[in-house]
Structures are given as C-alpha cells and as structure tokens.
Structure 1
C-alpha cells in the first residue's frame, strides 16, 4: 500500500513541478497549438497555447513508478515486474507517436500532423510488440501478463482465442482506446481530470486483485493476474501525474497535453485492460471516452446515409459548446459522467466478486 501512495505522490509532484518548466520553454520556442478552422469560434483564443504537455505526464508516470520502487527497497517491497514495464512501455511508445504528430504540427504551423496511415502504423506497431511480449514471461505459476481469453472481470474459458486473434484484439484495443482518449482531449482539463478518475478506479481494482490473488490465497472469487500490485503502482503513478498536470491544464489552460499525452494515456488504458483481464469492464470505467469516439462514428454514419448531422459537431463535447454551454460547464458535467462511469465499473467489479464467492 505504501508503494501505491509513494507512486501517486511522486507522480503528482514531478508533473506539477515539471509542467511550468515546459510552459516556459515551449513559450520561448513558440511551440503553440494550432486550432481547427471548423471548430467552435471560442477556441481561436487558445491559438498559440503551449502544447506537448503530455511529456510531463509521461515523465511523472515513470518517476512515480520507478521512485516508488526505489523507496520500496527499504522495506523489501515487490520489485519491478514485466506487467508494469509492458504497460508503461506501451504508453511511452504511443506517446512517441503522439510526439511526432505534435512536432509535425508545430513545424508546419498547421492543425494536422501525421497522416492517418502514419499514425495507424505507429499505433499498430506498438500494439503488436506489446501483444507478443504480453504472452511471454510466465511466472512460477505459468501466468503471463496477457491472456488469450476475452474477459469482463476474469478469464473466461468460453471466450478463449488463438494467438493471432489475441493479437488482433490487442491491436483493436490499442487503436480504439488511444484514439478515443485523443478525440476526448478537446477542452481544457477534460482528459486530465477524467483520466484521474478512471485510473483511480483501477488503483482499487488492481489492489483488490492483489489482496484476493489466487497465487496468494486460492479461494472462490480469486483473481489470476500476473502482477496486480505493480499494476496498482502504475495506475497510481498515472493518476498522480494527470492530476499534477491538471493544475496547469484546467481552464484557462496554460498548456495542452497534445497527442503526446492523449495517445499515451489511451495506450495506458488499453494495456491495463489486457493485463488485468478486464477488457470489457474498461468500456464501463472509461465510458466517457467510449461515448466520445462513438459520437464520431455515429456522426459519420448518419451523414453518409442521410446527409444530415446527428450532432452540431463531433466529438459531441463540441455539440454542447455550439448549443450555448460554457466550456467549463461542459467539462464539469463530463467529469461527473466520468466519475459515475468509474463508480459504476467499481460496483460491477465488486458485484461480480460477491457472486463468484457465493
């Protein structure tokens, strides 16, 4: 438990201290955000706001994770694990793809960076490497970081799949979650705040999996997850880093996380869903991001079939802005939705545990 607290505090401290440094550096170098021409008119005032703040989130996550382990050596805590490193590695790889996208936007002074195909290549390459490695490194009980069974809360033998289908699932989850979080990152503080809630929920989920691990305490309702305690440390470090960044990203934002942060955080969610055997539960905990990307899918589908728009603008947080809501009103209400989603996911997780024990 102490490792989890240390990870959160270090991630928070590093992120909140590093972000203003990035603000000053990027302001001097004129690394400012470009705004979509077809976006809400109120957003044009944000043109030039420093971007690529996701660098602070990534550094905060790694600092929280590694720092908590260095402190943990003093009381013989669990060391670095394959699961934790794989999830952070996936987030970092996708953050690298986002960094290229942001850098191209800044260099060319436009709102478009990497081409869609270029971004997909980077996402899929990271997903394939993660998927292959996730099925390796069995521990003493034979558990690997990933499982070939599509799960809601625990492995389900009925939904077991071949290795190739597992890799396809990993690719889908990585691309879907990273793009969903990226699409959501359109308002000051929206993604950083909502991500803090989702990762906070997963701190509780992974710690519960650790305290009810089949390896430590075989019983009804136990969990077969390779490194649940270390995954809780990863979640805590990520939540702390997001909240530290939120201090500077809340409206009016002094810096934007950019694709560097959004793609990394989406990759973090995808990696956690796979390594905790909760691929389907993640859709509940992260329902805000699911709804945001579905609003884009529905907008495109409806327009192509009827030539009418379902929303004034997609993703649908812009729909509410164009309907007259203030940006801060949209953000706060979406935070409430994110909190309700995280709470609902926790209730479903605990409810399944009770039913499994009965």
Structure 2
C-alpha cells in the first residue's frame, strides 16, 4: 500500500508542476493545436493552445512508479514492464502524430493507415510477450491469459494466435476510443482519473485475494500475474491525470494531444488484459464506448444512406443522412447549444455512474461466489 500511495502522490506533484513548465516551453516554441474546421465555432479560439501535454502524464507516471519501486526496493514485475511498454509505445505513436500536426500546421497528423500500423506493431508485440512462456512466474502464470475473461478467467480457452488478435482489437479500440473522447477541455483527463482510479481499487482487491498467497482459499481467488505492481502503475497514472487536469480543465491552458490520449487508452487496455477483466472494461469505460459508438453510427449511416437505395427506403432517410449534427457525440450536444462545461460535467457524471456500476458488478461477483 505504501508503494501505491508513493507512486500516486509523486506522479500528481510531478504532473502538476511539470505541466506548468510544459505550457511555458511549448508556448515559447509555438507548438500549438490546430482545430478542425467542421467543429463547433466556439473551438476556433483554442487554436494555438499548447499541445503534446500527454508527455508530462507519461513521464510523471513512469517516474512515480520507478520512485515507488526504488523506495520499497522491489524489482519491477513482468506485467508492469509490459504495461509500461504499451503505455509509452502508444504515447510515442501519438507524439509522432502531434508533431506532424504542429510541423505542417494542419489538423491531420499521421495518416490513418500509418497510425494503425504503429498501434498494431505495439499491440502485437505486447500480446506476444504477454503470452510468452519466458515470462511465466514460479506458478506457471503468464502476464496475459488465453482464457476469455469478464471478471476472472472463464473456462473458455482460445488459441494463442486468436488471443493476440483479440488483444490487438482491445488495444487499438481502446486507444482510439480515448482519442475520440479527447475533444473538450478536461473531458478525457477527468474521465481517465475515475477509470484508472477504479482499476487501482480492482488491483488492490485482486492482490488481497490473490491465488499466489499461501493463506488464500483457492477457487474464489484471482489468477493475476502481478496485481500489486499493476495497482502501483494504475495509481501513478491516476495521479498524473489528476495533476494534468488542473491545467487542462476549462479553459484549457494545454491539451494532452494524441500523445496522451493514445497512451492512456493503451494503458487502460493493458490493465484490462493483465487483470483478466477485458469485458468489465466495457462497463468501467462506458463513456469511451458511447463516444466510439456515436462515431461508428454516424459514419455507418452516412455511408449506407449514400450507397443503398434500400437503406434509404427502409429507414426513410435521404442520401448522406446524419444521425448526429456532428460526431463524436459530445460535439453534437455543443451544436445543440449546451455550454462546453455543461457537457464535460455531465459526461463526467456518466463516467462516475459507469465506474460505480463496474465496481459494483466486480464486487457482487465476489460476494455471490463466497
């Protein structure tokens, strides 16, 4: 528990102080955000706001974790190193995207295919290593599992190749979901604080009921490779997001950029995979799911209505029909006249309800089985 408090506390301080310094440096260099032209007109005043603030979140989290391990004199676990690889690796992909936007002074950074190649490379390497027998502990457990999992390993076993493919879907899907959510001041950062905080609690509970303990009752324990180390990283990222939110809340003085959103999404995916709670992530990260679905629905209906006369006749829509005024859905509410702060706070409330529901389901599963 001491390591968890140390990592979270130091990450918060480093992020709080480091973000202020980053604002000065990035502003001096002119590393400002470009704004999408088809978005709400109220966003045009944000053009030039420093971006790439996600670098501070990444550095603060990594340093906070390293400091906690140094103080407690424990070696990093395989699960922790894999999670940090995913976190930093996807952050690097996002950094390249942000840098190209700034260098070329446009709202488009890496091409979608190039970004997907980067995400795929990181995800596949992570998945292959997480299932590697080289990283088995003394109990023969690898960081990731070949079982399909909701709250714990089920009896349904998948081939390793299929598991790696599933890991790719989870990692790319979650990282892009957080990226899509990062469209309003403080929205993604505030939501991330709650979801990573939830995973900190999940990992602490899993550590207390870990199957690797000698005095635990087998059958209801959790078969997770390194729950305590995962809790330390989850706490570090929670603290880093909290410190960053001080400067990112409306009116934002800095944006996390793709550097931060892809890294945070990757870390969430990694935590879900390494804690055997892949499907639980859909509940805990419900806001990210809704935002992503809004984009899928918007694009799907728009393309179908243009390509298919049958679709138009069945649903009685015109060619190029749009379900929302603009996607993702948080911009839709802005176009309806909601103030940005109102949208953010209400979406934070939705995130809180999703997190409370997810934690409730997690604990109820334990109570039902005891």
| Global fold match (TM > 0.5) | yes
Cα distance in 1 between the residues matched to 2:128 and 2:107: 34
Cα distance in 2 between the residues matched to 1:342 and 1:79: 31
Cα distance in 1 between the residues matched to 2:219 and 2:110: 49
Residue 278 of structure 1 aligns to a residue in which SS? Answer: coil
Q: Structure 1 stretches of 5 or more lacking a match?
A: none
Q: Does 1:24 align with 2:21?
A: no
**Cα shift at 1:356:** 2.1
Corresponding position of 2:223: 224
TM superposition score normalised by structure 1: 0.97
Cα distance in 1 between the residues matched to 2:60 and 2:165: 31
Q: Does 1:131 align with 2:127?
A: yes
Corresponding position of 1:354: 367
Q: Tell me which structure has the larger Cα radius of gyration.
A: 2
Corresponding position of 2:273: 274
Corresponding position of 1:144: 142
Cα distance in 1 between the residues matched to 2:355 and 2:121: 30
Corresponding position of 2:116: 120
Q: Does 1:80 align with 2:73?
A: no
Contact 1:220 1:356 survives alignment (8 Å): no
**Cα shift at 1:220:** 3.6
Q: Does 1:103 align with 2:116?
A: no
Q: Does 1:89 align with 2:85?
A: yes
Corresponding position of 1:155: 153
**Cα shift at 1:219:** 3.0
Cα distance in 2 between the residues matched to 1:261 and 1:80: 23
**Cα shift at 1:303:** 1.4
Residue 150 of structure 1 aligns to a residue in which SS? Answer: strand
**Cα shift at 1:218:** 3.2
Cα distance in 2 between the residues matched to 1:218 and 1:51: 49
Cα distance in 2 between the residues matched to 1:343 and 1:234: 21
Corresponding position of 2:62: 62
Cα distance in 1 between the residues matched to 2:299 and 2:163: 29
Q: Does 1:258 align with 2:257?
A: yes
Corresponding position of 2:312: none
Contact 1:221 1:354 survives alignment (8 Å): no
Cα distance in 1 between the residues matched to 2:85 and 2:354: 27
Corresponding position of 2:357: 344
**Cα shift at 1:79:** 3.0
Q: Does 1:205 align with 2:202?
A: yes
Corresponding position of 1:195: 192
**Cα shift at 1:239:** 0.2
Q: Does 1:315 align with 2:312?
A: no
Residue 156 of structure 1 aligns to a residue in which SS? Answer: strand
Cα distance in 2 between the residues matched to 1:237 and 1:15: 10
Cα distance in 2 between the residues matched to 1:151 and 1:349: 12
Corresponding position of 1:50: 50
Corresponding position of 2:345: 332
Cα distance in 2 between the residues matched to 1:177 and 1:305: 25
Corresponding position of 1:35: 35
Cα distance in 1 between the residues matched to 2:351 and 2:4: 22
Q: Structure 2 stretches of 5 or more lacking a match?
A: 306-319
Residue 118 of structure 2 aligns to a residue in which SS? Answer: helix
RMSD of the TM alignment (CA)?
0.8
Per-residue displacement from partner, 1:31-74 (whole Å, max 9, x unpaired)? 0000001000000000000000000000011011111111112x
Cα distance in 2 between the residues matched to 1:52 and 1:189: 14
Cα distance in 1 between the residues matched to 2:221 and 2:367: 11
**Cα shift at 1:305:** 2.3
Corresponding position of 2:309: none
Per-residue displacement from partner, 1:164-203 (whole Å, max 9, x unpaired)? 1011001101110000000000000001110000001111
Per-residue displacement from partner, 1:260-302 (whole Å, max 9, x unpaired)? 0000000001100110000000110001001101100011111
Residue 255 of structure 2 aligns to a residue in which SS? Answer: coil
Cα distance in 2 between the residues matched to 1:41 and 1:150: 45
Per-residue displacement from partner, 1:298-333 (whole Å, max 9, x unpaired)? 111111223311111100000000000000000000
Cα distance in 2 between the residues matched to 1:282 and 1:60: 24
